[in-house]
């Protein structure tokens, strides 16, 4: 069905209730993202450009294309278009304060009894365009310098969106994204490229490994656990069963006694799985 609704770029293709149901079921099954009816207009708007670029006249044609694409490219494009990747440096900065003032000193104390060759491992799960991972890299580097930490710092940053990950790897941001970076850190770790464009330093880039990972995978492919996991502002898109299953798999990747951070507007319940509540949006894996 084609709606008679002119926009700047032409006519918007309408999406019927049954087409939206088929699309939202596909997105839920593949990515866990819960597209409620309230998201219908948003989804229709975001996907219209895809239909136009691919010369498709209806959402039925689009659904058939995605279902019958053996390469999986259409699914990647679909999740790229519907996922929300908004983020910025030092977002919800209380978490970083807690990490540096509580979690890192605890970790270094443990390390000091274990001898040299230590590795700090942080997973930034749902990293979008990379700002959260680079914030962590800056702060860990500062910590390493101030405490003469000679071990390695490894930050794994994952997302489902290929476009977001390409942006993350490039590491270039406008003033809006970096506005909360303290001036001293900005001078040290960001280079001005143009009127409103900065790039993170090669050192920060070398500390972060960006990878595509779908939270719906039944297990995660890590040999070693992590000392901290940030999964912030991701689970708001998931329903309760999806969220519970994800939290269980994420916490299985944490070392006991170490920390799990979720977004400020999210909740897990006071004692979820093997995580204990520390303060709003901060949990610690129980020590058996």
Ligand X SMILES: C[S@@+](CC[C@H](N)C(=O)[O-])C[C@H]1O[C@@H](n2cnc3c(N)ncnc32)[C@H](O)[C@@H]1O
* Contact between residue 32 and residue 242 where contact means Cβ atoms under 8 Å apart: yes
Return the C-alpha torsion angle 177, 164, 77, 18, nearest 10.
-60
- Spatial separation of the C-alpha atoms in residues 212 and 55, rounded to whole Å: 28
Q: Which is nearer to ligand X, 118 or 135 (CB)?
A: 135
Task: Give the nearest distance from C-beta 204 to ligand X in angstroms.
Answer: 17
- Spatial separation of the C-alpha atoms in residues 233 and 122, rounded to whole Å: 17
Contacts for 206 with CB less than 8 Å, ≥ 6 apart:
none
Residues 158-187 contacting ligand X, CB under 6 A: 159-161, 164
- Spatial separation of the C-alpha atoms in residues 119 and 154, rounded to whole Å: 7
Torsion over CA: 65, 66, 68, 72 (sign) = positive
Q: Does 232 contact ligand X by CB under 6 A?
A: yes
* Contact between residue 134 and residue 155 where contact means Cβ atoms under 8 Å apart: no
Task: Give the nearest distance from C-beta 93 to ligand X in angstroms.
Answer: 11
Task: Give the nearest distance from C-beta 184 to ligand X in angstroms.
Answer: 23
Task: Give the nearest distance from C-beta 99 to ligand X in angstroms.
Answer: 14
Q: Does 123 contact ligand X by CB under 6 A?
A: no
DSSP 78: H
Q: Does 135 contact ligand X by CB under 6 A?
A: no
Q: Does 87 contact ligand X by CB under 6 A?
A: yes
The count of residues interacting with ligand X (CB under 6 A) is 26
**Length of the chain in residues, anyone?**
288
Q: Does 24 contact ligand X by CB under 6 A?
A: no
Of 24, 78, 91, 208, the one binding ligand X by CB under 6 A: 91
Phi, psi at 198, each rounded to 5°: -125, 155
Which residue stretch of 29-37, 40-48, 61-69, 187-195 sits at the interface with ligand X (rule: CB under 6 A)?
Answer: 29-37
Residue 156 belongs to what H/E stretch? Answer: strand 152-159
**x-or-dash pattern for ligand X, window 38-77, by CB under 6 A?**
----------------------------------------
Of 18, 25, 174, 214, the one binding ligand X by CB under 6 A: 214
Task: Give the nearest distance from C-beta 31 to ligand X in angstroms.
Answer: 4
Task: Give the nearest distance from C-beta 3 to ligand X in angstroms.
Answer: 28
Q: Which is nearer to ligand X, 12 or 177 (CB)?
A: 177
Contacts for 235 with CB less than 8 Å, ≥ 6 apart:
243, 246, 247, 262, 263, 266
Phi, psi at 268, each rounded to 5°: -120, -15
Q: Which is nearer to ligand X, 130 or 284 (CB)?
A: 130
Task: Give the nearest distance from C-beta 238 to ligand X in angstroms.
Answer: 8
Q: Does 243 contact ligand X by CB under 6 A?
A: no
What DSSP letter does each residue of 17-72 carry, written as one string?
HHHHHHHHHHHHHHH-----GGGHHHHHHHHHHHHHHTT--SHHHHHHHHHT-TTS
Task: Give the nearest distance from C-beta 142 to ligand X in angstroms.
Answer: 20
Residue showing the smallest CB distance to ligand X in the complex = 87
By the criterion CB under 6 A, which residues form the site for ligand X? Answer: 31-33, 83-87, 91, 126-128, 132, 159-161, 164, 213-216, 232-234, 237, 263
């Amino acid at each position: 069905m084609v709606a008679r609704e002119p926009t700047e770029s032409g006519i918007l293709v309408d999406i019927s209730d049954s087409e939206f149901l088929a699309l939202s079921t596909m997105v839920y099954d593949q990515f866990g993202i819960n597209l409620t009816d309230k998201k219908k207009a948003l989804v229709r708007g975001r996907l219209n450009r895809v239909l136009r670029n691919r010369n498709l006249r209806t959402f039925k044609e689009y659904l058939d294309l995605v279902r019958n694409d053996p390469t999986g490219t259409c699914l990647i494009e679909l999740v790229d278009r519907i996922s929300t990747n908004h983020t910025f440096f030092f977002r919800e900065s209380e978490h970083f304060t807690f990490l540096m003032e509580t979690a890192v000193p605890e970790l270094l104390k443990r390390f000091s009894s274990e001898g040299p060759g230590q590795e700090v491992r942080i997973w930034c799960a749902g990293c979008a365009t990379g700002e959260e991972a680079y914030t962590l890299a800056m702060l860990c580097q500062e910590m390493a310098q101030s405490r003469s930490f000679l071990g390695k710092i490894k930050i794994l940053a994952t997302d489902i969106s290929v476009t977001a990950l390409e942006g993350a790897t490039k590491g270039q941001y406008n003033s809006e994204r970096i506005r909360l970076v303290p001036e001293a850190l900005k001078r040290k770790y960001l280079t001005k490229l143009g009127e409103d464009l900065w790039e993170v330093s090669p050192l920060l880039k070398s500390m972060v490994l960006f990878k595509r990972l779908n939270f719906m995978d039944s297990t995660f492919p890590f040999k070693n656990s992590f000392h901290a996991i940030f999964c912030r502002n991701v689970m708001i898109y998931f329903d309760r069963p999806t969220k519970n299953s994800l939290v269980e798999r994420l916490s299985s990747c944490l070392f006991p006694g170490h920390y799990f951070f979720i977004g400020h507007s999210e909740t897990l319940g006071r004692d979820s799985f093997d995580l204990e509540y520390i303060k709003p949006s901060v949990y610690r894996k129980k020590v058996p």
